[in-house]
Amino acid sequence: MAAGLAYLILSIISTTCINLILKGYGKYGVNTFRAITINYFVCSFSGAIALGQFPIKYGCWNEIWFPYALALAFLFVVGFNIVAKTVRIFGVTVGSVVQKMSLVLTVTFAILYFKEEVNAIKIVGVILALLAVVLTNYPSKEEGTVTSPELLKRFYYFIILTFLIDATISIALQYIELRVAPQGNDPSFLISLFFFAGMIGALYWLYHLLQGRMKPTKKDFIGGLVLGLPNFASLYFLMLALGQPGWEGSVVYPIVNVAIIALSAIMAFLIFKEKLSTLNKWGVMVAVFAIVAVGFSVQILEIFGMG
């Protein structure tokens, strides 16, 4: 149990660091696309070191997971850049809540496709999650708050895209894990996914370089390196936690999501002085209750003698 908790804490810290780093890109003049592209190569090589070998070899295109890895790699490149934009515009707390509330669509898919158990508490949790998204992103005219009517009016589509893309990636990974290429303790698929994402980004980058644009800077390389390590660590330690006895996904994911939202809000306030309106704060609290309801619905029913 102690090892599982340690891995879980490391995953939570790593994921929170990702949002803080993305927020810092604007402050330090790091180009988001170039840094994220570099980040994916750092992720793949970090994974290869942890695995002890580089899993991409001759004939890998014959693997059953290969087309899924290519499709998801493209979505990773587009999605991560949109998430970065959302965090930079609306703040770390709002960005993390929108991402974690994609749990709504993930759970809905699991219920409909994988025939997972559904109960009243879980349904209430899904409804609360939708309410949390609205409250967290509700525009406020209070001075110094993150979400203003002007920002939401101009960039509302980033909120929607972040929610949908994060949900799509989560659903795809869940499907691949259960139906295509179970990972277990072997992160080969994830390492390959990161590498393909880096290659897609690099090809797009090369196209612009040949036209005399998008020349890299030292800040871009530093930004990619700094982001790549926690980005790989967040998934790697999460996988290790899930591999420990007593740490099933139904327990791990809610704990991780709640902790990331709470820690992101605290760190964003301490580092970037982000402020939330009263409704936004209620949104964060509702998000926490929603995730607990969705993740621990069975345990809650048992406590009240309804299980």
Distance CA 127, CA 118 (A): 13
> According to the model, what pLDDT value does residue 182 have?
61
Could you say which DSSP state residue 63 is in? S
Range of the domain at 187: 2-303
Residue with the larger pLDDT of the pair 136 and 36:
36
User: What is the reported pLDDT for 251?
Assistant: 64
- Token pair for residue 120? 């009243």
Split into its structural domains, the chain has a count of 1
Task: Give phi and psi for 146, each to the nearest 5.
Answer: -75, -50
Query: Does residue 183 have a pLDDT over 60?
Result: no
Given a cut of 60, is residue 169 above it in pLDDT? Answer: yes
DSSP run (H or E) holding 215: none
Q: What is the mean pLDDT of the chain?
A: 83
pLDDT tops 80 at residue 296: no
